[in-house]
Structure 1
Amino acid sequence: MAIASEWLDRVDPGTQRRIKGLRLITTYGIAAMLGTLLGGSHGSLSGTLLGSLAGGFALWASVFEGQSTRASSSRDLALMCVAAVAGAATMIGFSPILDRTGWPGAELTLVTGAFLVGYLKRYGILGAGIGSQIYIGQLLAYGAGLKRADLPTVAVAGVIAAVAAILPRVLSGPAEHPVLAQPLDSIIAANGGASRELRMGLQAAIAALAIVLLNHLVRLEESAWAITACTYVIAGTTFGTIDRVRRRIIGTVIGVPLGLGCLPIALHAPIVAWALAALAMIIYAMALPERYDIACGAYAFTLILTLAVSGESSAFVLASRAWETLIGGAFGLATALLILPLGNPARKQAIRIARD
């Protein structure tokens, strides 16, 4: 316990990240519980589906939110929940239309979300969060196989998610302080301009489209996981993308086997499995700002456990998380190197300042 306490104090000396991690699991729990209870009391809504959507919308809105005051945080959380609803609606609306082309419409819809993840970063923290939430909404709708009849469920899930995300943030109050961007990041933004975010969006979209083509030729087990990986490894510089690919692969190939090793716990003691998943999400929140590899490993572990508890019994499908991440990372890296590569204006600016 002493060693663990020392490690926590070293990684998170101000306890803010631990508080955010606790807020993440609290938010998810409230949203999933409210959704399940409300769905169970109304025959027109599915409790399981409503709880899953609300929990996902609220969880990732809380992850992407990074404001310093309760009022601005509440505003951003509400907007990001709306963005998640919009993303799910685009999947429901566009997927059948794109299916008529002979290509998988759901995966093609994810390509549009991948573009927005990078492009909307030009509008700062809120823009980045909205872009990611649109993609998350698409991804959740894709995984649940939602149809037009599910649109009311999606809308209700968005309302529940907003309430569940805002309440813990209001209660955490000044105890939370988001990790501020490094000065070099602001230099990148100032020198890169809109063209940098546009190129990031195009890189992610092209990599995602290449994965759709690969899936059309060689059936992938979970192509959405590969698309997600290539989307989120794209960084503001080519070097940053290389680093994120390396860290995401390392984290995933460690987290997935750990999760598979805990499958007996998920099958025979689901409460313990949920507790382990909650602990992993706290580690995820603590590691995300600086240790992307640990964060990816923690999330991969959480995903394997939660899927197993939710009824996914195929070890092959669960293990595919690892190689789908490898595929997505490889495609993301290839586009970063070959398609509109991004230099590092921060480094050039630092050199120019040093010379002056």
Structure 2
Amino acid sequence: MSELIERILVWFECIDPGAYRRVKGLRIVTAYGSALALGTVHDITVLDPGHASIAMLAGSFALWASVFEARGTRYGSTRDLVMLCSCAAVGALFFAMLAPLLSLPLVRQYGLGGGEWILLPSVFLTGFLRQYGVLGTGLGLQLYIGELLAYGAHLTPIDVREIGVALAVAIVASVVPRLLTGPNEMPAAAASPSHSSCRASSLSAECIIGLQASATAVIIIVLNSVFGLIQPVWAITAAVCGTTVTATGTVARMRRRIIGTLVGVPLGLACLPIATHAPLIVCGAVALALIVYTVTLSDRYDIACAAFSFVLVITLAATGEHSVSVLVARAWETLLGGMIALVMAVYVIPLRPVRESEAAATGRTLH
């Protein structure tokens, strides 16, 4: 046992020298747990006794804001955390305000009453905002996550106040752990300019990435309206998170995501019986999985996806979802979304790196 622990520690040190990512992982777990705890406090829940969960919204806002935050100083981190939490709230608000349209007869007639089509603007922005670096990427993803949370919680305009309360809780829960850590953290590497373009288009690479993800989402929405998928948003999310600036990168990332999901989902299903009899052990496993997700997200995307799939299955079970078909759908619908996104990236709207000679020629033309 001691030898196994020693090997794990050596592995952590190899992929996370200096323990910067582990510290951030602990901070993410703290932010998530604090938001969930604060969201269930009576003095907060009475502010808006609505049908949705303040704790769920606040926990997710804080969790993903902490994941996407990538500054090295307390001030920079605090500023970005506030912006990221606010962006998630804007996404949730956008979905909630458009939710009444889902009851229109015309929308229901074509099988669009689920609301997946409302996600399309944020799906495009997850790619388009990448041109603004790490923060822009995080803001785009937070918009999508906010809409996704509102979609799952069936938020409507009457839940606007609840979104505001969840935002306030998320900001406190995510900022306080950052202020209590060291004054400086190792920031994430800034995203380098992609310098890519579509073979037959002058659009920017980030715009093409957004179009790839949006086209994939449209196909999934059509398939859902015709065949009725269990959780079509999981397929859409696979496309959003797996599309990169080149077709080769998308293929590699999708392959790792699919492999990780096919490993993480069975592990989560295997732990479901334990969750009933030993919830504290499962909570510890979820916390450890979130730390592993944070540590491996940059270098081992397959392990990160396995860790997150494990967390998702356990979280769904904890919230009362015990249908095996729904939980297994996480795996096969991720596979479906990944395959469609691969077709889009490789054959329909491909991206290729601009060669240095082409870039120089372009520069001469511009000047």
TM-score of Structure 1 vs Structure 2, range by shorter chain: over 0.9
1:285-300 equivalence runs, <5 A = 285-300=294-309
User: CA 1:175/1:3 → structure 2, altered by over 3 Å: closer, same or farther?
Assistant: farther
Native 8 Å contact 2:38 2:44 kept in 1: no
Task: Give matches, 1:38-57, under 5 Å.
Answer: 38=42, 42=46, 44-46=48-50, 49-57=53-61
Alignment of 1:63-102 (within 5 A): 63-97=67-101, 100=104, 101-102=106-107
| 1:154-199 CA distance string (max 9 Å, x none) | 0110111111111111212345212314xxx525259899711111
The number of equivalent residue pairs is 348
What do residues 120-171 of structure 1 show as CA deviations (whole Å, max 9, x unaligned)? 1111111111111010000011111112111100011011111111111121
Other-structure match for 1:321: 330
2:185 maps to 1:176: yes
Are the structure 2 counterparts of residues 352 and 195 from structure 1 closer, same or farther at C-alpha, using a change threshold of 3 Å?
closer
* Distance change (3 Å), C-alpha of 1:89 and 1:63: same
Judging by fraction of residues, say which structure has more helix.
Answer: 1
Of 15, 18, 25, the match for 1:21: 25
Supply the distance in 1 between the matched residues of 2:24 and 2:335 (Cα, whole angstroms): 29
Q: Take 2:357 and 2:321, find their aligned partners in 1: how far apart are those partners?
A: 50
| TM-superposed deviation, 1:95 | 3.2
Q: Does 54-63 or 144-153 show the bigger shift?
A: 144-153
CA 130–306 in structure 1, closer or farther in 2 if over 3 Å, else same = same
Is the Cα contact below 8 Å between 1:34 and 1:51 reproduced in 2?
yes
Structure 1 residue matching 2:18: 3-state secondary structure: coil
Specify which of 189, 192, 205 is matched with residue 186 of structure 1.
Answer: 192
1:326 to 1:319, Cα distance in 2 relative to 1, 3 A: same
Report SS of the residue matched to 1:274. Answer: helix
Give the equivalent residue in structure 2 for 1:265.
Answer: 274
Structure 1 residue 105: Cα displacement:
5.7
RMSD over equivalenced CA pairs, Å: 2.2
Secondary structure of 1:134's aligned partner: helix
Distance of 2:358 and 2:157 partners within structure 1: 55
C-alpha contact (below 8 Å) 2:74/2:184 kept by paired residues: no
Structure 1 residue aligned with 2:133: 124
- 2:278, 2:126 → 1: CA distance? 37
Q: 1:340 deviation in Å?
A: 2.7
Q: Does the CA-based 8 Å contact 2:99-2:155 persist in structure 1?
A: no
Secondary structure of 1:343's partner?
A: strand
CA apart distance, 1:41: 5.0
Q: What letter is aligned with 2:333?
A: E
Identity rate, percent:
45
Conservation of the 8 A alpha-carbon contact between 1:19 and 1:175: no
CA contact (8 A) 1:95 1:105 kept: no
Question: Which amino acid in the other structure matches residue 194 of structure 2?
Answer: I
CA distance in 1, matches of 2:215, 2:303: 27
TM-score scaled by length of structure 2: 0.89
Q: Does the CA contact (< 8 Å) of 1:122 and 1:194 recur in 2? A: no
Given the two structures, how large is their TM-score scaled by the length of structure 1?
0.92
Q: 1:351, CA displacement in angstroms?
A: 11
Q: Report the Cα distance in structure 2 between the residues aligned to 1:329 and 1:153, rounded to whole angstroms.
A: 34
The runs of 5 or more residues in structure 1 that have no matched partner are: none
Structure 2: how far apart are the matches of 1:334 and 1:199? 14
